[in-house]
Amino acid sequence: MTTRHPRLAFACTIVGAWLLALTVRLYGLQVLDHDRYAERAVDQQQAVVELSAPRGTIRDARGRELAVSLEVDSIYADPRELRAKEGDPEEVAEALADILELSKKARADLAERLASKRRFTWVARKADPPKAAAVMAAKLPGIHRVAESRRYYPLRSLGAQVLGFVGIDDVGLSGIEAMYDKVIRSRPGRRVVVSDGRAGRVQHPRLGFTAAHSGSDLTLTLDVAIQHALESELAKAVEHTDAKRATGVVLDPHTGAVIAMAGVPTFDPNRFQDYPEKQWRNPVIADAFEPGSTFKLITLAAALERGVTSLDQVWDCEMGVLRLQGVPIRDHKPFGMLTSREVLANSSNVGAMKLGQAAGPEAFYGAMRAFGIGRPTGVDLPGENAGLLRPIDQWRALTPAYMSFGQGLSTTTLQMAVVFAVVANGGFTVRPHVVAATDGVSVKVPRGIRVLRDETVFKLRDALESVVVDGTATPAQVAGYRVGGKTGTAQKAIRGGYAASQFVASFVGMVPIDDPELVIAVVVDEPWPLYHGSQAAAPAFAEIARAALLYRGVTPNRERPEVWPGQQIDTAHYDDAESIAPALASLQRAQVAWEPRSEPRPTPPGTVPDLAALNKRDAVRAATGMGLDLRLYGSGYVERQVPDAGTPLDLAGPTLELWFGPRRPTAVSREGP
């Protein structure tokens, strides 16, 4: 056969060789190189899209939503599919840029990515719903969408510095969102999508799919209504005093729960990128300052605890000037003999220094450490500043003298609130916290330790009330409630010295003083010309305290009708966030009934007249002839005057300052650093 049919043999040989080669090739493709080609096929046909689930919801103490996650569309592109459908990358990029309002640089970057050989690229993460709908309506080749979760803060700037915000990948970047990120953050899922023969998208149930899981919910100690009152009054304080900024905190002194916390100016976490980064931080815990006279509470506490003074012991305050090693320690006005109670009430630096000397450096330093000065409070928020307290072995000769009235060390707004909370709760330290529960399970907070005896606590409360009733803090009075607190007016430490016209004004107080329910701290940075704590911070405290007490239903200490004539405000419930603003606005509009007058109220002969409720013309006429220089601020009726009505003219000083406005008159007193 071989000789008789050579052509047939040759053909069989060729076919056999071809089949052998094909078999070898198929073996190589399907066996030897299977994994490599399978991987290439997957790369060409499949894309993996990561799916995000909602972060946990953050709510206030009454269940109102502060941070939620909404489902929105993210837009992505498959550049290979775009070319398979004969799309022009530059034209598609231009169309997308017009809809999404991209910058010129972003347009060029998008066109470059659409022209690549990749199978997946993001076009717009978590796009605004109208823009995402417009993109899909354009039916551009290779353009698809996938549902993702987007963080939204329904109350916008309210509580923003406490809440913080998240980045595009749902990772917490500041505030609670960062501190509790592992708790709140969801576990992402994955979805595999493939291209069919017509380059269309297919999502098949047999393809890889991992479900995303939502994060845990948080319940905070914050109360939206009181937070709103705090932020509103801080903003007013900044505007009224032309200050640089203001901070404040409302604390439950018994549990350490932070009921409200804020700094002004603030930001909207929905658009955090539109604000300066310095406004993202929480200044209540991050910014340290010399506290000034609010620190005298610790000085008096140290002396009382050691038993070296009583509230009625008399101190010679040297008529306002005492020299130590040639350095003068000055008061804001001359004082002669003052009791310990009066030293605090009148904010005498000389008297405070003598109290500190009587306590001794070791007891004074021990008291500061016991109150938590120089170390973090442990609040569950990121970025807390520990403040500054030098060890006693690093003190110089005059260090304890300066520290006795709040210089030479630094604290934060929250630290000073915690100091006063110790007195308010009966002498125990507290751990401030802002998270009350996770998924409904209460968060355990460490118990405090006793640092003051009951006897000392009662004496300190007595002294703090005298500050508000008879001393430098009369504007902190809240009609119907007994208040205790302390003002502070500290010169700012700058480049090794103290600024002549830059101050930090503060007031920290508790209410009601007989059974304190709230501790409120207000700090105003660089107010001018109303730079005293009694002028810049105490009035804000009074407004915040009034709103919070009425909202919480705290019974006044005396009858309310003289304070709220004909005014009946329902503060029992706020069903939703929209009802809060008008309710608080009505609280702020409620005022003591008073009539404008044309003549001053009578005061003893030889004293400053009471000019409250006089218009500018009548006030100037009444003050003429007293030998005082007049300084007038604002317009309307006299709201405040310095010196106070009834002050003897020989002690009043050369200047009478009058502030005019539309609101009810409130007395104001001077207070020194």
User: What is the C-alpha separation between 361 and 308, in angstroms, rounded?
Assistant: 13
List, for residues 436-445, the tens digit of each pLDDT value.
999 989 988 8
User: What is the C-alpha separation between 549 and 511, in angstroms, rounded?
Assistant: 9
* Between residues 666 and 546, the one the model is more confident about: 546
Q: What distance lies between CA 581 and its chain's CA centroid? A: 19
The alpha carbon torsion through 478, 480, 484, 486 (nearest 10 deg) reads 20
List CB contacts of 592: < 8 A, sequence separation 6 or more.
479, 562, 563, 565, 664
Q: What percent of the chain has pLDDT over 90?
A: 50
Beta bridge partners of 172: 166
User: What is the C-alpha separation between 484 and 464, in angstroms, rounded?
Assistant: 5
Mean pLDDT of 95-117: 85
Q: In what order do the strands lie in the sheet containing 637-642?
A: 629-634, 655-661, 637-642
Q: What pLDDT shows up at residue 469? A: 93
Q: What distance lies between CA 430 and its chain's CA centroid? A: 19
User: What is the C-alpha separation between 293 and 287, in angstroms, rounded?
Assistant: 18
Q: What CATH number is given for 224-589 in this structure?
A: 3.40.710.10
Going from N- to C-terminal start, the domains of the chain cover: 6-32, 48-220, 224-589, 594-673
Share of the chain residues as helix, strand and coil, in percent rounded to the nearest 5: 35, 25, 40
Q: Read off the tokens for 429.
A: 């330290």
Q: Please determine, for residue 50, whether its predicted confidence score (pLDDT) is greater than 80.
A: no
Contact 555, 564 (CB under 8 A): no
Q: Which of 69, 149, 157, 293 is catalytic?
A: 293
Cis omega (within 30 of 0) for bond into 265: yes
List, for residues 174-213, the tens digit of each pLDDT value.
999 999 999 998 877 666 666 554 444 445 555 555 666 7
Mean pLDDT of 395-406: 94
User: What is the C-alpha separation between 355 and 671, in angstroms, rounded?
Assistant: 19
Q: What is the mean pLDDT of the chain?
A: 83
Q: Please determine, for residue 593, whether its predicted confidence score (pLDDT) is greater than 50.
A: no
List, for residues 223-274, the tens digit of each pLDDT value.
999 999 999 999 999 999 999 999 999 999 999 999 999 999 999 999 999 9
Backbone angles phi, psi at 226, to 5 degrees: -75, -35
Mean pLDDT of 406-435: 96
Q: Please determine, for residue 553, whether its predicted confidence score (pLDDT) is greater than 80.
A: yes
Q: What pLDDT shows up at residue 587? A: 34
Query: Residue 125 burial by CB count (10 A; 0-12/13-18/19+): exposed, middle or buried?
Result: middle
Q: Please determine, for residue 156, whether its predicted confidence score (pLDDT) is greater than 70.
A: yes
Contact 49, 202 (CB under 8 A): no
* Between residues 310 and 36, the one the model is more confident about: 310
Segments in 180-281 forming alpha helices (H)? 181-184, 224-241
Q: What pLDDT shows up at residue 545? A: 97
CB atoms within 10 A of CB 58: 26
Mean pLDDT of 455-481: 94
| pLDDT band at residue 147 under the 50/70/90 scheme | confident
Contact 406, 490 (CB under 8 A): yes
| pLDDT band at residue 501 under the 50/70/90 scheme | confident
Coil/strand/helix, residue 390: coil
Contact 234, 224 (CB under 8 A): no
Q: What pLDDT shows up at residue 598? A: 75
Q: Give catalytic status of residue 293 as yes or no.
A: yes
Backbone angles phi, psi at 216, to 5 degrees: -80, 150
Produce one character per residue of 479-507: b if its CB has 16 or more CB atoms within 10 Å, e if not.
ebbbbbbbbbbbbbbeeeeeeeebbbbbb
Residues 48-220: name the CATH superfamily: Penicillin-binding protein 2a (Domain 2) (3.90.1310.10)
Q: What pLDDT shows up at residue 565? A: 29
User: Whose structure tokens read 């980064």?
Assistant: 277
- Global pTM reads 0.73
Mean pLDDT of 45-60: 75
User: Whose structure tokens read 């006299």?
Assistant: 638
